[in-house]
Amino acid sequence: MLNQSDILQTLDMIDHQHLDIRTITMGISLRDCSHPNLSVCAQKIYDKICTKAEKLVATGCAIESEYGIPIVNKRISVTPIALVAESCEGNEYAVLAKALDRAAESCGVNFIGGYSALVHKGATVGDQRLIDSIPEALSETKLVCSSVNVATTRAGINMDAVAQMGRIIKETAVRTAAQSGLGCAKLVVFANAVEDNPFMAGAFHGVGEPECVINVGVSGPGVVHNALRAVPGAPFDVVADTIKRTAFQVTRMGQMVAQAASARLGVPFGVVDLSLAPTPAVGDSVARILEEMGLETCGTHGTTAALALLNDAVKKGGVMASGHVGGLSGAFIPVSEDEGMIAAAEKGVLALDKLEAMTCVCSVGLDMIAVPGDTPAETLSAIIADEAAVGVANNKTTAVRLIPAPGKTVGDRVEFGGLLGSAPIMPVHPESAAVFISRGGRIPAPLQSLRN
């Protein structure tokens, strides 16, 4: 039970430390929407989403008003569309993306995720059709998010898919050039993708999930930063314990909101994802947490160790607060969405190589990174391959969300607005990886995958 002190402390976190529920995400199975006719399939998808999520936004707003807890986003995730569309005749899969977009707009949500394919060991005809359609789908919709899983620890890395995703990212950037490549901000390439992630752009409703479910993503970089200010110069044992206690409080709040939404919507409660997801707002930065530990600038030597401590302490505090912690749950490091990361990148301290090292110990990957618009597709693919290797070797989820901004080069900046923020164009290595990427095939699974 929450006592008066807990309530007052939580209110202070909300009022002064950017504490919020980042998203209530309803996962919806579309497996029963398959039909040979694409138009019929699209209509079934639209109808089911609108039926299931009709009251999602209103319920979220009611909880927000009643509890006084900001709920920033209300979102939907669906079964990977490549699975739903497998039996469809024809390859105009963008029709299905437009149905998702219309349904999301009708329901009033911020984003809908699940225009996705799982190709870590190979692609079916349906997978290939969906991947080919991604640039068109993301350039002709507003609310649809897409993801492709190209690797798992059990299967290894599908290098054919990795090579193709470099080309898909380039084409998506070109098609959305007027918005500085904004379509790429809605496209994630995964290794070891999870089925219950409520955060966009990588959310989809996994095949092991129920018919419908409520997952909640909480966030609180500002809260953690503020807590560490109270223990200046303390040893790392105290730092870790302070973060754990803070993560416990944040997760309890998230579970309370999730259970309320579940009860009111008559939908099972799935998980609380307790990821520290930053925003461009000052005071809501993961980078500033790391600097509070004693780093002059995020990205300098010591950054990976500090991030490892933060990620581990967040997870430990969260699992003590809820028996249903899931999703990614840890610390996110999206460059464009974190004002501290932006500042470090602009100073030249935070570079792609350091970010890659940091992804070994955090909860996601190379996220929301803008690179020169003339970056070759093979270089994008090589970056994806590196990050997939990190995930596969460490048996963890990693992801890449790169934005080759058309017409931009190092020293320029792109503006996306809202939670997507802005990003300095970061340099990539000029040496080519084209011959490496052209080999294709599959990088075998590591020895540690043989666990049976």
Give pLDDT tens digits for 158-189.
Answer: 999 999 999 999 999 999 999 999 999 999 99
Q: What's residue 359's pLDDT?
A: 94
Look up tokens 């970010």; give the residue: 355
Q: Give the mean pLDDT of 39-62.
A: 95
How do residues 313-355 score in pLDDT, each as one tens digit?
A: 999 988 887 888 888 888 888 888 888 999 999 999 999 999 9
- List pLDDT tens digits, range 183-233: 999 999 999 999 999 999 999 999 999 999 999 998 878 889 888 999 999
Q: What is the model's pLDDT at position 1? A: 43
What's the pLDDT score for residue 3?
A: 47
- How far is Cα 173 from Cα 422, in angstroms, rounded to an integer? 16
The 10s digit of each residue's pLDDT in 398-452 is 999 999 999 999 989 998 877 788 889 999 999 999 999 999 999 998 888 787 7
Q: Specify whether the CB–CB gap between 408 and 370 falls below 8 A.
A: yes
How confident is residue 362, by pLDDT bands cut at 50, 70 and 90?
Answer: confident
* Rounded mean pLDDT, 364-387: 95
Give 290's pLDDT tier (boundaries 50, 70, 90): very high
Percentage of the chain exceeding pLDDT 90? 70
- Strands (DSSP E) contained in 363-428 are 366-372, 398-405, 413-415, 422-424
- Residues whose CB is less than 8 angstroms from the CB of residue 154 and which lie 6 or more positions away in sequence, other chains included: 445, 449
Position of tokens 């897409």? 146
Please report the pLDDT score of residue 54 as a whole number. 95
pTM for the whole thing? Answer: 0.92
pLDDT at 29 over 50: yes
**Is pLDDT above 60 for 2?**
no
Indicate the range of 102-111, 140-149, 279-288 predicted with least confidence: 279-288
| Per-residue model confidence (pLDDT) at position 20 | 75
Q: Identify the band that residue 67 occupies on the pLDDT scale cut at 50, 70 and 90.
A: confident
Q: At residue 332, what is the residue type?
A: F
Q: Provide the terminal-to-terminal Cα distance of the chain, rounded to the nearest Å.
A: 42
**Concatenated DSSP letters for 66-134?**
HHT--EEEEEEEES-HHHHTTT-BSS-THHHHHHHHHHHHHHT-S-EEEEEEE-SS---HHHHHHHHHH
User: Is the CB of residue 134 less than 8 Å from the CB of residue 98?
Assistant: no
89 vs 103, higher pLDDT: 103
What average pLDDT is seen over the chain? 91
What pLDDT score does 82 carry? 96
Q: Quick one: pLDDT at residue 13?
A: 60
Place of tokens 């930063």: 225
pLDDT for the residue 451:
78
Question: Which pLDDT band, with edges at 50, 70 and 90, does 10 fall under?
Answer: low
Cα 11 to Cα 103, 221, 279: the distances in Å are: 35, 16, 20
- From 427, 408, 282, 414, select the one nearest 354 (Cα to Cα): 427
The whole-angstrom distance between residue 138's C-alpha and the CA centroid of its chain comes to 16
| CA distance linking residue 434 with residue 163, whole number of Å | 9
Is pLDDT of 15 > 80? no
